Structure 1
């Protein structure tokens, strides 16, 4: 086998390997993109501000009110 034939044979092996791994590379890119979307969703959900909720108790002219949420967070 001459050097030129060895080089061609090696080139053919490289091309065959690229053809075999092409679907796996595509699958890897797709799964990485899906995981990135999942992690991004978790991060965005973690930083959502809560809705304001109120709890009121009224006992014989004594009113007690408790609130929590965005008003408490933004107004101190």
Structure 2
């Protein structure tokens, strides 16, 4: 399990600071964009997901949707027996 960082307070403008050490480790730079998502396992946990990861997952899902589904009739293999 990754080490815990914090606690860090929420500003009056509802912002949370990312510690410089963690930003360097994660290669986060000013202007990077992120998505927030609630954890499926624990709704009290927020996940911070880089935009590039979301785009990569979206493109993978899109390519899966666009690929032709195998036809069960052509994918069946017979042993040649009757």
TM-score by length of 1: 0.32
Considering fraction of residues, name the structure with more strand. Answer: 1
Considering fraction of residues, name the structure with more helix. Answer: 1
Higher relative contact order (CA 8 A, sep 6+): 1
TM-score by length of 2: 0.30
